Copies of this chain bind each other. A is one copy, B any other.
Amino acid sequence: MIFKQTWKGKNCSEGIYFPASVPGNIQADYARAHGFADLQFADNYKQFLPLEDDHWEYETTLAFTKSEGERVFFVSHGIDYKYDILLDGALLYSYEGIYRPVELDLTDKLKSESLLSVHIYPHPKRAGAPVGTRDEADASCKPPVCYGWDWNPRLLISGMWQDAYIETRDDSYISVPKALATLNDEMTEGSVKFDFDCAKACEISLYDADGNCVSRTNGREMTVPSPNLWWCNGQGEAYLYRYEIKNAHFSREGHIGFKRLRFLRNEGETDPREFPKSRYTPAFTIELNGRKILGKGSNWVNPEVFWGEIDEARYNELLTLARDANMNILRLWGGASVCKDSFYDLCDKYGILVWQEFMLACNNYLGTPEYLATLESEASYIIKNLRSHPSLAFWCGGNELFNSWSGMDDQSLPLRLLNKLCYELDPTRPFIPTSPIMGVAHGCYLFYSHMQGGEVFAEFQNANNTAYTEFGVPSVASLESLKRIIPEDELFPIERTPAWVAHHAFDAWGAQNWLCLDVLRSYFGEPKSIEDIVENSSWLQSEGYKGAFEEMRRQWPHCSMMLNWCYNEPWITAANNSIIEYPAKPKKAYFAIKDAMRETIFSARIKKFSWREGEMLEAEIWLLNDRPEVVKGKVKISLCLGDSVTELLEWSAEAAANRNTAGPTVRFILPHADTDRLTLLLEADDGRSSSYCFHYRPAPAPIKKVKMLNM
C-alpha cells in the first residue's frame, strides 16, 4: 500500500512553514507562499537569487497503526541535492546526489505519531569559482544548467523533485522490477533477465502487442524465439512486449523491447592517405537491427526551470511533437542530464532513440575522491535504472568536455570512471566520453557569423564532419510570448533593458545574441516594428534550419547524425535557438524542420539567402530517402517571384533504401520583380512539396556591408 503524505516546508533561516508540493521544488513552494511575482516576466527570476545559500526543511507527520507482518518504508525516487532524512529528529540517512532513490525501513522506529523531516543543504558551489557563474557547478554532480546558461536563468532549485511516499510491505511485496532484454547476434532470439526481489515465488508472463502470452516462467530468465524487433521512428514499429510479475497478493508490470544497436564506421572515413598517419575517426553511424540509419533529431533540455514540477503530460506534449517532426533521436544534453522515468517510457513507445549524457557540461570536473564517489553512486544508479529501456541508444560522459572552454581530456578520471561503469553495467551499449568527439562537430549557432564563414548554408555545404550534433539558428519568440515577458513599453524599439537581457536577447553568447538585431538589419534594414522583427527572425530561423538539416541529409551516409541546438526551452526566452517555445508551442522553424525530416523528400541545395535581379540562381536537386525501401518519384521545380511562376524543370528519380540520389542542377537568371521574396517550389507527385523562401531585391545595387558584432 502506498500512502501519499502532505508535506510542509520551511526556509531554515526563517522558520515559517508553507505548503510543499512533492514532487516539486521547495523554491517554487516558497515563491507561491511568499507571493513572488511571475517568474516569466521581466527579470523577476532575480527574486530567487537571495535564496541560493539557504537551508530548507520538509516535514510530514506519520500516524500509522502497524499490522502484523507488515513493514513501513519511506520511499523517495530522488531528492535534490545534498540532504539528511530524520525521524523524530534522529538522523536516518544522508546523501549527496539527485538521482539515486532512497528506501528507509521505518517500522521499528515509528511511534504512534512521528515526524519525518528532510533537511536540504545549500547548493554546492566550488570554493574559489567566480560567484554567480556556472563554474561554481564543477565540483559536484548537481546538473549544472540551473547555475545559469545562455537560455536558462540562474535559478538554483532543490528539494523533493521526485515522487515520495510511505509504503507498507508484507512478504508478498515485489520490488520495482527491471527487465534486461538482449538480442543474439543473429537477431533470431531474444533473452530477458528479470531483476526484482520478492520473498514469495512469482510467475512472470510476457505478452506481445496483441496481448498473447509468448513466454511464462517461475524463474528469472526467459527466451523469446524470433522476437518482433523494436525500431525507431520512421524505420518500423517501436514494438514493445508487456510483462507481468505476480504472486497471490501482489503484481508488477512493465515493458521491454528487443533491439541491437551498435556504431559502425562512417562511410568514406579511413586512415589519412599519406604518412605520417594518425588514427581514423571513431565509428559514429548508428546501426539498428542490422540497418544503418541516419540519426535525425534535436538536443533536449530541461522543459521547466523547476524540474520537480515536470510530469508525464509535459513530456508527452513535447515528445509527440518530436515524433510528429520525424525525429528518431534526442540527445539528453549533460547540462540537464537525466529525466524522470516516464520520459524514457514515452521514448520507448514513440520510437525515439535516447542519447543519454551524464551531468557534466562545459566545465573541468577535476575528479577529487569526493567527487568521484558521488559520481560513481549517481552514475551506477542511472545506468541500472535506464539500461532496460529499448529507446536508450548510447551513453555519453557530458557536453563539450574536450574543448578549451572546459579543459577535460581522455585522461580525466570522471570520464574514465563513467566509461568503466558503463562497461561493467551495460557493456553492449556504446559509450562516448563527450560530444563532440573526433570527426563530429558542434556549432555554429547563428544564421550568419564570421566564425562559421558566413551564412549557415555555406557553413554546412563546406563542412565534412561525421555528424553535426549541435548547430542552431536563433529566432525571437512569438509576439504573444514576448508580451508576456517584456514590459509593453520596452517591446519596440528594442533596447538592452533588464527584461531583454534576463530573457537572453543580449549578452547570452556574445553581446548581440540571441536577438541578433545586427543580422536582421544586415538583411532587412532598420526594423519598423516588433512584428517586423518577429516575422523576419522566424523567416531566417526556419530557412536556416531547413537548409542545414537538408544539407546534412545530403551528406549521409558520411554524415550519420544531425541534431539541432536546441529542441525545447525551460522558460519563455526572448530569443533562442529552440524550435519549440515554452511550454510547448512550435515555432515556424519546427514546421520547416518537420518538413526537412520527412522520410522521403525532394530537396534543393541553394548556396545563400539573399538574391538580386540578374543573378543566376543555382539549385542542386536531390531525392532524399530515409525509408528502408526503394522509392521513386517525380518532381516539378518552379520559381515564384511575386505573382509570377516559372516552371524550371521536371525530374523523375529513384533512390535505394535509406540512400539519397543527386539530381540535376537548376540554373536560372533572376528577372525583375517587385517583391522581396523568391520561392523555389518543389512539387512532388505524391502531393507533398518542399519550398524555399529566400530574400530577393529587384535593384542590382550591392548589399550594404554591416559590421557583424556577434562573437
Contact = CB atoms under 8 A, between A and B. Distances in A.
A275 interface: yes
Given A262-B411, A409-B265, A431-B416, A441 B276 contact: yes
B419 A278 contact: no
Given A420-B420, A438-B438, A452 B274 contact: yes
Given A411-B263, A416-B419, A438-B279, A451 B274 contact: yes
A436 B279 contact: yes
Contacts of A434: 279
A157 interface: no
A459 interface: yes
Interface in A385-443: 402-404, 409-411, 413, 416-417, 419-420, 423-424, 427, 430-432, 434, 436-443
A381 interface: no
A444 B276 contact: yes
24 contacts: A265-B409, A271-B404, A274-B451, A274-B453, A275-B451, A276-B441, A276-B443, A276-B463, A277-B436, A277-B441, A278-B439, A278-B440, A279-B402, A279-B403, A279-B438, A280-B402, A280-B403, A282-B409, A282-B411, A410-B432, A411-B430, A416-B419, A419-B423, A420-B420
Interface residues of A, number: 52
Q: Which 3 A-B pairs have the closest CB atoms?
A: A276-B441, A275-B444, A275-B443
Nearest to A405: B271
Nearest to A429: B411
Contact of A278 (B423, B438, B460, B471): B438
Contact of A452 (B276, B280, B441, B463): B276
A449 to B, nearest CB: 7
A572 to B, nearest CB: 27
Contacts of A279: 402-403, 434, 436-438, 440
A161 interface: no
A395 to B, nearest CB: 11
Given A275-B443, A276-B441, 14 more contacts: A263-B409, A270-B404, A274-B453, A276-B460, A276-B465, A277-B436, A277-B443, A279-B402, A279-B403, A279-B434, A279-B440, A411-B431, A419-B420, A419-B423
A283 interface: yes
A276 B409 contact: no
A283 B441 CA distance: 19
A556 interface: no
A468 interface: yes
Contacts of A437: 278-279, 410
A262 B283 CA distance: 28
Contacts of A430: 411
Nearest to A262: B411
Given A404-B271, A409-B282, A423 B416 contact: yes
Contacts of A403: 271, 277, 279-280
Contacts of A271: 403-404
A436 to B, nearest CB: 5
